[in-house]
Amino acid sequence: MRLSALKSLAATLALTTAPLVSAYDLPAVNLGFTSFLDGGPPAGPGWYAQQYFQVYRQGRLKDAAGDDLRLPTGRGLEKAEVDVNVSLTQLLYSSDQELLLGGKWGLNLMLPIVGFDIDPGDNPALSTNSGNLGDLLIGPFLQWDPVMGPNGPRFMQRIELQMLLPTGAYDPDHALNPGSNVFSFNPYWAATFFIDPKWTVSWRLHYLWNAENSDPNSALQADDSQAGQAIHLNFASAYEVIPNRLRLGINGYYLKQITESKVDGRELSDSKEQVLGIGPGLVYHVSRHDHLFANLYWETLAENRPEGARLNLRYVHHF
């Protein structure tokens, strides 16, 4: 599972403000979509359908120094904010057949629908291409059986080779697009460690590489652009407060761009993105085959991207 998968979505912003001309260009990634018990599927091998709903509010646009970005409008310079709504549908198959080094193969497919709004809305540089399909995610993976202890599982893990395909809606004349118009490689390692049967710690560590965009935002007045490489991490810890039913905990994510973005092959200084999000969450086990996750995040330390609040709801059904 991934994601990001999906977008922090303001990640496709291209701003005409000169120092930020190619900032905000990372594609959609998994910031807070996954959290507790992430090292393995909750009901073992088989088919899973998962539905995510994520709302992002009051995402104040930040510059490279982490200060509020002010954009020209008919009323003068104003702070800019973005709101994002994401509906993400996932189909996943986890087999019971070993493929490599004891890992059992599986396949993950995800497709988002994205809508967003930006304020102030009267700046022509911030037009939106909203309410459309985002990029298709395909991820073959290896899932290892849990390492068992005397009182139950102690450790479980998975490696997935996620690929983002440029299938989503994209228009270079818009600043915000559901699709990124580039191929991205976003592999990860997910794991859960059971401190004891009730207390777990989980993480999902991603690496992100982006291909070149041959049709970048028209405001760049360039032949091509390329977002930098990045590392991002989801982390969570939960404690079982109702046996086999409810776990409460804390969840978070961190994204750090590690190389500068490029325009026409030239690196741009001060184009790296960063953000940290953290907050409370829960997982409610409706039954052995149905699970509900809820996660709330408040962001801080943002650079060259929005800083706001994110609520994620996720329902998992095992067939």
Cα separation, 286 vs 40, in Å, equals 18
In a domain, 156, yes or no: yes
The answer to whether position 260 is within a domain reads yes
Query: How many CB atoms within 10 Å of residue 190?
Result: 24
Longest dimension (CA), the chain: 68
Identify whether 184 is part of a domain.
yes
Tens place of pLDDT per residue across the chain (319 aa): 333 322 333 333 333 443 444 568 899 899 999 999 999 999 999 999 999 999 999 999 999 999 998 877 767 778 888 899 999 999 999 999 999 999 999 999 999 999 988 887 666 667 778 778 999 999 999 999 999 999 999 999 999 999 999 999 999 888 788 999 999 999 999 999 999 999 999 999 999 999 999 998 887 888 999 999 999 999 999 999 999 999 999 999 999 999 999 999 999 999 999 999 999 999 999 999 999 999 999 999 999 999 999 999 999 999 9
Residue 157 lies in a domain: yes
CA gap 89, 74 in Å, rounded: 40
Cβ count within 10 A of residue 27 = 30
pLDDT score recorded for residue 10: 34
Q: What is the CATH number of the domain that holds 125?
A: 2.40.160.40
Tell whether 28 is covered by a domain: yes
224: in domain: yes
Domain count for the chain: 1
- The rounded distance, in Å, linking the Cα atoms of 67 and 61 is 8
Confidence at residue 288, expressed as pLDDT on a 0 to 100 scale: 94
Kindly state whether residue 45 falls inside one of the protein's structural domains.
yes
Residue 4 lies in a domain: no
Domain that residue 62 falls in: 10-318
Measured in degrees and rounded to the nearest 5, phi and psi for residue 124 equal -65, -20
Q: How many CB atoms lie within 10 A of CB 57?
A: 13
Q: Which residues face 73 on adjacent strands?
A: 76
pTM here is 0.90
Pairing of strands 81-100, 46-61: antiparallel
156: Cα within 13 Å, side-chain hemisphere: 19
